[in-house]
Amino acid sequence: MRTYRSLGELSLLSLAIALPWLLQALGEDYYIGFATRLLIYALAATSLNFVVGYGGMVAFGHAAFFGGGAYLVALLMTGGLISAWASWPLTMFIVALLAWAIGAISLRTRGVYFIMITLAFAQMIYYSVISLKIAGGDDGLPIDQRSNLFPFDLANDNVLYWLALGLLALSLLLLKRLSHSRYGHALAGIRQNETRMEALGYPVQQLKLVCFVIGAALAALAGALLVNQNGMAGPGQLYWTQSGMLLVMVILGGVGQRYGGVLGAFVLLGLEEVLAQVTEHNHLYIGLILLAVVLYAPRGLAGLFCKSR
Amino acid sequence: MTPLLTIRNLKRHFGGLWATRDVSLEIQRGEIHALIGPNGAGKTTLIHLISGGLFPDEGQLLFDGRDVTKKTMHDRVALGIARSFQITQIFPKIAALENVRLAVQAQQRDWGSSLRMWRPASADFLMIEEAEDWLGRVGLAEHAGTHAADLSHGEQRALELAMTLATRPRLLLLDEPLAGMGPEESERMTQLIASLRGEQTVLLVEHDMDMVFRVADRISVLVAGHITATGTPEAIRVDPAVKRAYLGEDIA
């Protein structure tokens, strides 16, 4: 069973690696940008799924970290820091610090209050950024070149695609290892019974905070990819609708399912793309599909395929 | 030798209700100390105050000579104060063994033990063996693989005791361990707790008087947030104030 699954994962990965060449052979190069976008959102949704599904924290402000990563990379580039080797880790570090502060305050609350306070923080960041002149205000912040990841040339769309694929694969591997590790078991315990965990001597709040911060740092990494893909950081990436969309992806794909974020991002963005070609009311249909998933597949699309994570 | 736990003038109120009025109490090393009293006397509140689930408005808690009044629950567990709950607190969706393994993992406090994110926890054979030992101690060895939710009520109570013991407490707080148990299960749990005598300091809240008088070395009586008497079971049995307040005619 396990080997079959690994085989399946490997063949999917090989197919994904070969995709740029396949598209070239078919003369559909345009889609490589779309495929990259899928991977980036899959990474962002996976990072949120880590917080929501593994850490049990329904965070409604993930756009702050995803969009924040995009803005920081763009800002650093405006300031002359073009090397991805320097600016991306720095961006992840700054976002991690920000998440640490936001998380330390927000984790004093729970349930609906946690949802509201994370939303409030994210909106504060949104309004702060659009009022900043150096961040381009309402217009966003364009970048005139992609980050420099010497010796790899990110200006090449295929290379950016492979990079996004590699980072997504690494994150999924981390999630897989993590869910069987001591930390993963501790998080599972926290999801089931916080009182018992605290009474066993676990510093529950700190363990959750670590999860929140890791999720934010991964989202920042996705943001760094996004700004390179889009050529700009825009206010929409920080807005609450972005947080909402990532949450929809996670719920659609499967909360706490390892591939939940990936499936959710692929299906949601894929549907948007397909439906937009045939109808103006694509959001209506997406809403209906989400409704159906919530009602009939509460463990998400990933839950339909596998028994557990 | 100093007492293991010294409670000094502890007070705690909820709105206008003083659940703990002015409690002073000493728990000696190695004793099984029972706390009895009518419903609403403040027994569970006192357990919360000692374990760190609640903080007192006034007063002081000294554990092994050290002031722990302001320490969080998980810090107190690290120092050696662990508790069970009146309403069973376990992890229902995982196997019994995994429940205890989490307790053993918590007790291994080398740096970052529970922040290890890469190595599978199942590779730690020693941790699993220790968990198996504790399960065996409470008589659940053959249920190691059973989901905790599928255990009977009595088995779940025993599992919680195993988890609490696995944190290797120096002071074990048991809040009504017999709550909701049938006679057979009660008997098994009573023997289990009695078997801890000499190796474990216990503070026990329990309504079952037969059990209390069987296992306790000393008994304290809590009435309306006050300790009205402390003494050996024999002394408490004949204490007129206690009889009046609590025990009723049949014991007298």
pLDDT digits (tens, 9 = 90+) for B74-106: 999 999 999 999 999 999 999 999 999 999 999
Query: CB-based contact (8 Å) between A108 and chain B?
Result: no
Query: CB-based contact (8 Å) between B15 and chain A?
Result: no
Sheet order of strands, B66-67 included: B17-27, B5-14, B58-63, B66-67
Mean pLDDT of B180-191: 93
| pLDDT given at position A303 | 86
High-pLDDT (> 90) share of chain B, %: 80
Which residues in chain B have Cβ-Cβ distances shorter than 8 Å to A189?
A: 91, 102
Query: CB-based contact (8 Å) between A19 and chain B?
Result: no
* Confidence band, pLDDT 50/70/90 cuts, at residue B112: low
| pLDDT given at position A262 | 97
Mean pLDDT of A171-195: 95
| pLDDT given at position A113 | 97
| pLDDT given at position A307 | 58
Number of cross-chain residue pairs from A and B with Cβ atoms under 8 Å apart: 94
Q: CB neighbours (10 Å) of residue B30? A: 13
* Confidence band, pLDDT 50/70/90 cuts, at residue A283: confident
Query: CB-based contact (8 Å) between B117 and chain A?
Result: yes
User: Does the pLDDT of residue A267 top 60, yes or no?
Assistant: yes
User: Does the pLDDT of residue B109 top 80, yes or no?
Assistant: no
* Confidence band, pLDDT 50/70/90 cuts, at residue B115: confident
* Neighbour-count burial of A150, counting CB atoms closer than 10 A to its CB (0-12 exposed, 13-18 middle, 19+ buried): exposed
What does the pLDDT look like over A116-133, one tens digit per residue?
Answer: 999 999 999 999 999 999
User: Does the pLDDT of residue B247 top 80, yes or no?
Assistant: no
Which residues in chain B have Cβ-Cβ distances shorter than 8 Å to A197?
A: 102, 106
Extents of the domains making up chain B:
1-80+169-252, 94-168
What does the pLDDT look like over B8-54, one tens digit per residue?
Answer: 999 999 988 889 999 999 999 999 999 999 888 899 999 999 999 99
Residues 6+ apart with CB under 8 A from B19: B12, B13, B42, B45, B225
User: Does the pLDDT of residue A74 top 80, yes or no?
Assistant: yes
What does the pLDDT look like over A144-159, one tens digit per residue?
Answer: 999 999 999 999 999 9
Query: CB-based contact (8 Å) between A195 and chain B?
Result: yes
User: Does the pLDDT of residue B111 top 60, yes or no?
Assistant: no
Contact criterion met (CB < 8 Å) for B83 and A181: no
Contact criterion met (CB < 8 Å) for A200 and B91: no
Extents of the domains making up chain A:
2-305
Cross-chain CB nearest to A181 (options B77, B94, B117): B117
Backbone angles phi, psi at B216, to 5 degrees: -80, 140
- Helical residues (DSSP H) of B140-243, grouped into ranges: 153-166, 183-194, 209-215, 233-238, 240-242
For chain B, positions 55-114, list CB contacts with chain A under 8 A. Answer: 72-74, 77-78, 82-83, 85, 89-94, 98, 101-103, 105-107, 109, 113-114
| pLDDT given at position A309 | 44
* Residue among A200, A214, A308 with most chain B CBs within 10 A, to mutate: A200
Cross-chain CB nearest to A200 (options B102, B115, B121): B102
Pick the CATH number of B1-80+169-252 from 3.40.50.300, 3.30.565.10, 3.90.580.10, 3.90.198.10: 3.40.50.300
What does the pLDDT look like over B131-173, one tens digit per residue?
Answer: 999 999 999 999 999 999 999 999 999 999 999 999 999 999 9
The alpha carbon of residue A105 is apart from the nearest alpha carbon of chain B, in Å, by 17
| pLDDT given at position A20 | 93
High-pLDDT (> 70) share of chain A, %: 98
| pLDDT given at position B252 | 40
d(CA B85, CA B160): 8
| pLDDT given at position A30 | 85
The answer to whether domain A2-305 has CATH 1.10.287 is no
Mean pLDDT of A77-87: 96
Contact A198, A50 (CB under 8 A): no
Query: CB-based contact (8 Å) between A188 and chain B?
Result: yes
The alpha carbon of residue B228 is apart from the nearest alpha carbon of chain A, in Å, by 29
| pLDDT given at position B248 | 57
